[in-house]
Amino acid sequence: MNALFFARSAAIIALALAVGSFATAQAQPVQQRNRVVIQVSDGDAAKWNLALNNARNLQTDLGPSNVQIEIVAYGPGIGMLKLDSPVADRIATAKDAGVAILACENTMKGQKLAREDMLGGIGYAAAGVVEIMQKQQEGWTYLRP
């Protein structure tokens, strides 16, 4: 009776573990929502427009609710997010469409830029490159126009 009790207990524990483990293993290939981090590090308005085109095309082709997009501007790319940015209107449109827009505070410090010098409503990352690295580590796709 003791042996039978052991067999039953072991079987129940094994069953629980196997089911849990099976569920974990099966969960991994599940397709996650599309997530794309777009880097802007060139001091070139044509590149800023290209990055914004890329974001718009991702939303148009996949459907805005099927893709999460974050644009990170750093280095010479920071000009894209300054008050006098030639693409200020498009930044506002992208924000309204749900695109996250982040400025690198390391770059801002280096260029003596304060938040008052930047477009309203954008977000900030302490270090743009760390933000881009972490997004990739979390499984986001990297796009460098």
Closer residue to a second copy, CB minimum distance, 19 or 83: 19
Q: Does 136 bind a second copy (CB under 8 A)?
A: yes
Using CB under 8 A, which residues numbered 75 to 104 contact a second copy?
75-76
CA distance 16 to 22: 10
Closer residue to a second copy, CB minimum distance, 93 or 141: 141
Find the part of the chain contacting a second copy (CB under 8 A) among 55-63, 86-94, 95-103, 114-122. 55-63
Closer residue to a second copy, CB minimum distance, 1 or 116: 1
- In this structure, the dihedral spanned by the alpha carbons of residues 101, 105, 109 and 114, taken in order and rounded to 10 degrees, is 50
User: Which listed residue (83, 86, 111, 142) binds a second copy by CB under 8 A?
Assistant: 142
